[in-house]
Amino acid sequence: EAKIRQKMIENNLVEAIIVFPIKMFYTTDISVTLWILNKNKKAHTFDAGNLVRHYRDREQEVLFMDLRQIGEPFEKKFIQFSEQQIQDIAKTYHNWQQGIDYEDVPEYCYSANKEEIASKDYSLVPSKYIEFVNRDENIDFDEKMAGLQSDFTELLREEESSKQELLKVFQELGYAIKL
């Protein structure tokens, strides 16, 4: 398997690896990975009348995209992309192909060169390349605990107030509750 991936990278066949959200497809709950293969990653111009694209040479690169945090609920238990999300994803991909306003975005996309891929034993798992933000490392524990302490204090006060009101209602009805 590793040798197959290596040959595909060395032969410039892998254009992009895209990870989709879980529950996007009816037949599986797992996250699906799409491999886009392209035999023509050289610089060229595509002209289809009203659509002209000037592709840059991408033979030394592979685009990795992680779309698992994108999507919206569909039929209660599935995920789908909105029209705007589809346009944004396509724009990222086409901008990367053309070298127009593309930049790597943490937790979304990364353009890896062949040397990086080789250094990771030709792994094509996007999470090995796309930067992920550790949201836990910069948490001020004392500040967070003080906030939780305040929230719980208020909840316990409200609980006590509700308890007293409930005991009062039962007493007024002649069915006092003794604790």
Structure token pair of residue 176 = 């006092």
pLDDT of residue 135: 62
pTM listed for this prediction:
0.72
3-state secondary structure of 73: strand
pLDDT of residue 142: 85
Residue 18 amino acid letter: I
Residue among 58, 81, 137, 68 at smallest CA distance from 108 = 68
For residues 8 and 83, give the distance between their C-alpha atoms in angstroms, rounded to a whole number. 32
For residues 59 and 11, give the distance between their C-alpha atoms in angstroms, rounded to a whole number. 9
8-state DSSP, 7: H
Is 20 within 8 Å of 34 (Cβ atoms)?
A: yes
pLDDT of residue 81: 95
pLDDT in 10s for each residue of the chain, 179 residues: 889 999 999 999 999 999 999 988 888 888 899 999 999 999 999 888 888 889 999 999 999 999 999 999 988 889 999 999 999 999 999 999 999 999 999 999 999 999 999 999 999 999 999 988 776 667 778 888 888 899 999 999 999 999 999 999 999 999 999 88
Which single residue is written with the structure tokens 């003794």?
178
pLDDT of residue 102: 94
